[in-house]
Structure 1
Amino acid sequence: MKVSVEISMYPLKEAYCQPIIDFIDCLEKKPDVSIQRNSMSTHIYGDYRNVMDTLDSEMLNVLEQIPETVFVIKLIGTNREKAVIDACG
């Protein structure tokens, strides 16, 4: 089953930008998922298990380093990657 996830990360600390960049960089190194960045959130596409395993390991890494981090996640059980690309031109 293919899924699409929209995720936003909010480290509750003054220097919040670099942890977000580092998190997205780690996601982009995962070969089994496709990542699209934008200014408000990051989109992750792929097989359900690959996406969820990636999120599980990378969110755990963040929370171990910065426990005061909020993640907001939306998940849909279809691959919306092409739909997002088509809509954005």
Structure 2
Amino acid sequence: MEISVELTFSPLQDAYEPQIIRLIKALRASGLTVLENPMSTQVYGAYTKVMELLTKEMYTSLEGVEQGVFYLKMVKTDRSDYEPHF
């Protein structure tokens, strides 16, 4: 099963950028399709691969901050090639 995940990580601390950068670099290095914009990061691929990656990297990210919040949306399909039709 293919999925699309939109992920936003918000460390609740002043020095938040290094943890966000670490997470994005880890996602990029995964071999999965990863797209970024200023508000979130999208990860696309097989359910088991995406979820294994996110479980590991979300844990590592939360370990690296005193407090943090993840926002996540998931769709059951690979939407990485989406283009507006209007």
TM normalised by structure 2 equals 0.92
Given that 2:19 and 2:64 are in contact with CA atoms closer than 8 Å, whether structure 1 keeps it comes out as no
2:10 is the alignment partner of 1:17: no
Q: Which has the higher helix share?
A: 1
Q: Counterparts of 1:76-87 in structure 2 under 5 Å? A: 76-83=75-82, 86-87=83-84
Identity %: 37
Whole-Å Cα distance in 2 between the matches of residues 27 and 69 of structure 1?
A: 18
TM-score by length of 1: 0.89
Q: Say how many residue pairs are matched.
A: 84
Which amino acid counterpart does residue 46 of structure 2 have in structure 1? D
Runs of 4+ in 1 over 6 A off after TM superposition: none
* CA RMSD after TM alignment: 0.9
Cα deviation, 1:2-47, whole Å, max 9, x if unaligned, reads 000000000000011121111100111112x210010000000000
